[in-house]
Chains A and B, each alone.
Chain A
């Protein structure tokens, strides 16, 4: 009897953990898509028109902080596919470059987040942002048939670091509000 109750309560707990993850993941995916679409419609930064702020990454960082790497991957890659479909860039070079950036950023942030408390959300996001721009320039090389785009790499990384730190700070602010309750 006891063991049956225990197994029922275990399955209920496991079920609610899965439900919570699905709910958090899909909610954050929706947020990431809206931010991604807003950003797709905006021009680049004034001094560096090839770069954008990376607002959608806020949702990925929050997913990594309140859920796990798998949820963050669904939010990040789901966003790339949905925004790609909506803007007609899925499967085009622009879409491939976006996907490469998202995967590199996700990998970097997941690696830092799995090191316990050594790095905070600000560090994850800043390094993820740098990985994002570098991966984009690397994948753009074969697409345009020249490695000359790597000339943009140092400037891109220098601009990406503070922008990534900013979105990481925004994500941290959101996470602190979420976990207070």
Chain B
């Protein structure tokens, strides 16, 4: 690795770290999550266990809130990336189902003492 390599990689990594809170949990309050779907945006409370049927671009995405964390239970999509992401609760966590255009973002910050967590 050359000096320029190290500088380039460090700059890109810093840019990503700085951008994280701006894009991942922006506009979402602590203890809440938003479900963004083609039809619009829904805010959900992580304290209330519930199951949400979200209409995606290809079919239904089933989102479950249980024990303060959120996960995609099932989805009409070929690769099931969203389902395999599992349950998330940390601020800045994101679950995405690209084929359905559905994204779940967990808001807030500081509640677990961490600024961000790599998932």
Which residues of A are interface residues toward B (Cβ below 8 A)? 43-44, 47-50, 93-94, 97, 112, 115, 117-120, 122-123, 126-127, 130, 140, 143-146, 148-155, 157-159, 161, 165
Interchain CA distance A127-B81 in the complex, whole Å: 25
- Contact residues in B for A48 (Cβ distance below 8 Å): 119
| Given A49-B85, A122-B1, A123-B2; A152-B96 close (CB under 8 Å) | yes
Closest 8 CB pairs of A and B: A144-B101, A123-B5, A154-B20, A157-B16, A148-B36, A148-B103, A154-B16, A118-B4
- Contact residues in A for B103 (Cβ distance below 8 Å): 146, 148-149, 151-152
Please state if B38 and A144 are interface contacts (CB–CB under 8 Å).
yes
Determine chain B's interface SS by DSSP, over half rule: mixed
Interchain CA distance A93-B100 in the complex, whole Å: 11
Interchain CA distance A50-B84 in the complex, whole Å: 9
- Contact residues in B for A43 (Cβ distance below 8 Å): 84
Name the residue of chain B whose CB is nearest to the CB of A130. B12
Interchain CA distance A43-B84 in the complex, whole Å: 10
Q: Does B114 contact A (CB under 8 A)?
A: no
Interchain CA distance A127-B118 in the complex, whole Å: 19
| Given A44-B84, A118-B2, A159-B118; A148-B8 close (CB under 8 Å) | no
Chain B 102-115 interface mask (CB, 8 Å, partner A; 1/0)? 01010000000000
Determine chain A's interface SS by DSSP, over half rule: helix
- Contact residues in B for A120 (Cβ distance below 8 Å): 1-2, 5
Name the residue of chain A whose CB is nearest to the CB of B35. A148
Question: Closest approach, in angstroms, between the C-beta of A118 and any C-beta of chain B?
Answer: 4
Interchain CA distance A48-B117 in the complex, whole Å: 12
- Among A117, A122, A146, A151, the residue within 8 A (CB) of B23 is A151
| Given A49-B85, A120-B2, A145-B57; A127-B8 close (CB under 8 Å) | yes
